[in-house]
Amino acid sequence: DQQVKQNSPSLSVQEGRISILNCDYTNSMFDYFLWYKKYPAEGPTFLISISSIKDKNEDGRFTVFLNKSAKHLSLHIVPSQPGDSAVYFCASAAGYALNFGKGTSLLVTP
Amino acid sequence: NAGVMQNPRHLVRRRGQEARLRCSPMKGHSHVYWYRQLPEEGLKFMVYLQKENIIDESGMPKERFSAEFPKEGPSILRIQQVVRGDSAAYFCASSRTGGGSTDTQYFGPGTRLTVL
């Protein structure tokens, strides 16, 4: 039972453009959401998070939007850079355990 | 300012052997989590430990798997009598306080276990 779903396995974006990664969740008890970035053969690196009491959080080029009524969140990267090419995992929390999606592989082309 | 350390990075075992995975949390962190990632899957929570205590092991298989976080030394994830299905990447994370919704979990580089 996948409680966090990332329906796009991959995404390709041109350098300088916006990357939008999407995530849906099923459990309305989740109160905290995170995005992690992962390079091959490395562990996930924390990117940005958002509490359920907010609908937007911004950190530099990264912005996360939360739509609680739709149980949907998205990560916007503007402008996209080649170094952003990685797998991005959406995760949710209701307590201490994180629930991860399967990830979206982002490729930023020059 | 070392991050979460895991060793070994790669581990090869034959079926029936034991695998021991080690995790040293970030300095100042006393909460440790283990996750497993199967091929083409997301990370799945296994167990949450504080020093000398298992807080939640609801994600751990009932047999052959155990975890500990002693007062001194790293956290250990032990898999006895490994089978091919245990082949996966095992990630450890740590946080200063407990709670996925209150404190960020920082991940180590993972141990890639291959069972022949």
**With bands split at pLDDT 50, 70 and 90, how would you rate the model's confidence at A28?**
confident
Instruction: Find the CB nearest B107 among A44, A93, A97.
Output: A44
Per-residue pLDDT at B101: 65
**Is the distance from CB of B79 to CB of B16 less than 8 angstroms?**
no
CA distances A13 to A72, A76, A108, B2, B115, Å, are 21, 12, 5, 33, 37
Check whether B1 has a pLDDT greater than 60: no
Residue A88 is predicted with a pLDDT of 97
Q: Name the token pair of A25.
A: 């969740």
B 25-64 residues inside an 8 A Cβ radius of A? 31, 33, 35, 40-45, 48, 55-56, 58-59
pLDDT digits (tens, 9 = 90+) for B102-111: 688 999 999 9
- Report pLDDT digits (tens) over A84-105: 999 999 999 877 889 999 999 9
Q: Residue A41 — φ and ψ, nearest 5°?
A: 65, 20
Burial class of residue A44 in the structure, from the number of CB atoms within 10 Å of its CB (0-12 exposed, 13-18 middle, 19+ buried): buried
Distance CA A45, CA B47 (A): 20
**Is B18 in contact with B79 (CB distance < 8 Å)?**
yes
